[in-house]
Chain A
């Protein structure tokens, strides 16, 4: 066999292998293209037209342009929603992460009844968002809610707080419901991460004289960095698109105080039937999500073991 023939055979074999790999992946690729890429392309295309109610039979008509994006930049409601969204994502992430980390550390310790405690801590996670929102809506009800009752009983307030009529209290109530719903995700992921940290690291640290806080900071947190990064990305993406909790509790009110970009997209598309404008806001939200993902992953990708 000449060297050139052997080389050709190797190339053919490699090409066949690649073709085979692609053939195996094809169903997944097709599904991804249909379910994710195609709607994104259509939404992106729509954002450059003036479509009120999207009809496939009509397609896109008129002259495309940046007018929806210009309209969005000039719209005070968009900037207000952007501020609300960033605040909601920030406080939602900080709150969920803080409680999630605390409960993960707690549940990582061996104690009697740990299994039951783990079940109880995870309870909010499987509860549907609408149900969670309804529970909190009743709890924060200004007339007969348990929150006002408790605050009145302990003397922290003199009269009931109308939680959903003022901007600050409404935002607080919605964010608290979101944190309650979201913290078990951090608990699960961080607990799983903690269980994979080799015990020898802690033993070595103790031998070197490290105290509990130092061990926590330099071993637990340091080892968890990649897990924290992924968990933050998933949680942030979830918070960017939370709809049910906010819509049920406040509908985005009062006066837009809890109207995140997700709520604004819904209202523009399905209440006002301005689908192109909604698509433009959706594209910006997508861009923000991508940036947040990139930042988180860059900051937390390195692990020391």
Chain B
């Protein structure tokens, strides 16, 4: 009998505890999940966190769980979450992966909502077009960018060079002059130019920049999927010249490339506006010499959309509404301006930076102007298979440029590989 009473008491206690737990969950309100690879990046993460704090202040009872996911596995993790029916509430993704989600029908159309802020979107970056799929707009571009040339003014002055090159031929000459063995031990201490020479997307970035000089209106392939053989041959030949001159350190990936530039061990590199973070992290004796200039490819700039925000199609309508409110806040003049002042990146919305700020930040002027001048890095008809296309270009470029294989043979193989892409 006593045991029976004790059992009933335990049950009652459990029921009360459960009731409190449920109550407590309700009191917490709505939690929106927002994973991002930028959650720990200095500058950018500060801006995201400030934006999230503002959103939470404007929407009491709503909190955003801003979590870090490594970039290397970001797409795989997100695809798995979407496929498993557990998408995040606010979806931040690299623009290059947009098609995967669009094709699966995982993103909610934003056209009706965007119509409500048509005046804002009128000032939005032209690369916003990457968010369109089958006549619908499925995302909003966070960052549109153009590449710049990072150059080390101190190294240029030491070599008696006036300023950064403006064509690829000049780049090759200047890079050779800047490559020196400063200590005289037979080992090169500073290279003139640095780009990744191992399997890495940065190989495609570099090759495309050279290619754009040869054919400002063209790309790797035309709409029929035929290779732009002449322009590619020009790009690979120029890159080969840099390597043959010994002006480029071999065996580096993109991180090592940046490290070489920041440490003053390479005098020039191509990079997006996020180069500012690298410059800021340089040692005190190197930082003042690190400058940015337009890329030396006759005025054609490599660029496009970097990352975008979207609303998942398979979440509850009230969560979709909140996710949209977050995006709407992100597009506001105040937070677009802060994208430049806090994150140090060019805002997607034009006209939000005042003249005084731009006058005091010459590099930001450059990032904004290059972003506006940039030509999209994705060739026509390749958006749906861009990752595979890029990997094929990286492999072919390494074979032709670094391994010195016959360019025609490599082009023939690349054409075959592109032909069998699905």
Q: Which residues of A contact B (CB under 8 A)?
A: 52-55, 57, 71, 74-77, 141-143, 162-167, 250-256, 267, 270-274
Q: Which residues of A contact B5 (CB under 8 A)?
A: none
Q: Which residues of B contact A256 (CB under 8 A)?
A: 395
Kindly state the separation between the CA atoms of A53 and B396 in the bound complex, as whole angstroms: 27
Kindly state the separation between the CA atoms of A14 and B23 in the bound complex, as whole angstroms: 58
Interface range, B side: 20 to 34
Kindly state the separation between the CA atoms of A253 and B200 in the bound complex, as whole angstroms: 9
Say whether, besides A53-B79, A57-B85, A254-B199, A162 and B251 are in contact (CB < 8 Å).
Answer: yes
Is the C-beta of B104 less than 8 angstroms from some C-beta in chain A?
yes
- Which chain B residues (376-422) contact chain A, with CB distance < 8 Å? 385, 387-388, 391, 394-396, 398-399, 402-403, 413, 416-417, 420, 422
Q: Which residues of A contact B399 (CB under 8 A)?
A: 254-255
Docked-complex contact A165 and B395, CB < 8 angstroms:
no
Docked-complex contact B422 and A165, CB < 8 angstroms:
no
Say whether, besides A141-B251, A162-B197, A53 and B403 are in contact (CB < 8 Å).
Answer: no
Docked-complex contact B252 and A253, CB < 8 angstroms:
no
Q: Which residues of B contact A (CB under 8 A)?
A: 75-76, 79, 83, 85, 100, 103-104, 197-200, 249-252, 256, 385, 387-388, 391, 394-396, 398-399, 402-403, 413, 416-417, 420, 422
Q: How many residue-residue contacts, CB under 8 A, span A and B? A: 82
Specify the chain B residue showing the minimal Cβ separation from A250: B199
Q: List 23 A-B contacts (CB under 8 A).
A: A75-B420, A76-B416, A77-B417, A141-B251, A142-B250, A162-B250, A163-B251, A165-B197, A165-B250, A165-B402, A166-B402, A166-B403, A167-B403, A251-B200, A253-B199, A254-B395, A254-B402, A255-B395, A270-B76, A271-B75, A271-B76, A271-B387, A273-B79
Specify the chain B residue showing the minimal Cβ separation from A266: B76
Specify the chain B residue showing the minimal Cβ separation from A274: B422
Kindly state the separation between the CA atoms of A55 and B85 in the bound complex, as whole angstroms: 9
Docked-complex contact B398 and A254, CB < 8 angstroms:
yes
Docked-complex contact A252 and B199, CB < 8 angstroms:
yes
Kindly state the separation between the CA atoms of A253 and B394 in the bound complex, as whole angstroms: 10
Question: Which of B75, B250, B399 has the largest number of chain A CB atoms within 10 A?
Answer: B250
A161 to chain B, nearest CB (A): 9
Q: Which residues of A contact B417 (CB under 8 A)?
A: 76-77
Q: Which residues of A contact B198 (CB under 8 A)?
A: 164-165, 250-251, 253-254
Docked-complex contact B398 and A255, CB < 8 angstroms:
yes
Docked-complex contact A142 and B79, CB < 8 angstroms:
no
A157 to chain B, nearest CB (A): 12
Kindly state the separation between the CA atoms of A71 and B197 in the bound complex, as whole angstroms: 30
Contact of A53 among B100, B197, B413 (CB under 8 A): B100
Specify the chain A residue showing the minimal Cβ separation from B82: A53
A222 to chain B, nearest CB (A): 46
A251 to chain B, nearest CB (A): 4
Kindly state the separation between the CA atoms of A53 and B249 in the bound complex, as whole angstroms: 39
